[in-house]
């Protein structure tokens, strides 16, 4: 082999070594980027879980508050209805009219009468 061939061979080997070194460097950078992205994704997932947990807790408290308000309002309305409701004093004619209305409604709901 001539000196010139040997020089070209060494130059080619150096170029290949440079390319392989650059490729290895790029692989390390890509791996580092993947790790960085994985860490960022994990952090955001944890943040999302924390937001979901806080939201769930707030909704539970709101629901409990609403249930309490509904119960308080219902109790007030029941108490008022009990104290303000007039005593029903039906005479025989009222009872007959009520019975007839219930029979008509029953017949209409069951399809016994068109109307």
Assess whether 100 and 71 both reside in one domain.
no
- With tokens 């004619």, the residue in question is 93
CA atoms of 30 and 83, how far apart (whole Å): 78
- What's the confidence (pLDDT) of residue 114? 57
Assess whether 21 and 75 both reside in one domain.
yes
Assess whether 62 and 40 both reside in one domain.
yes
What would the mean pLDDT of 93-115 be, rounded to a whole number? 87
- Residue 38 CA: distances (Å) to CA of 24, 44, 87: 21, 10, 74
The verdict on pTM exceeding 0.75 is no
Q: What is the span of the domain harbouring residue 97?
A: 90-115
Assess whether 26 and 76 both reside in one domain.
yes
Assess whether 78 and 104 both reside in one domain.
no
Q: Is the pLDDT of residue 115 over 60?
A: no
């Amino acid at each position: 082999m001539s000196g010139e061939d040997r020089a070209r061979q060494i130059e080619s080997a150096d170029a290949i070594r440079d390319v392989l070194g650059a490729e290895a460097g790029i692989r390390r950078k890509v791996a580092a980027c993947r790790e960085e992205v994985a860490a960022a994704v994990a952090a955001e997932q944890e943040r999302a879980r924390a937001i979901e947990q806080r939201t769930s807790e707030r909704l539970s408290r709101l629901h409990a508050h609403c249930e309490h308000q509904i119960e308080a309002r219902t109790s007030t309305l029941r108490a008022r209805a009990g104290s303000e409701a007039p005593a029903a004093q039906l005479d025989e004619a009222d009872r007959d009219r009520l019975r007839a209305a219930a029979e008509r409604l029953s017949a209409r709901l069951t399809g016994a009468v068109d109307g």
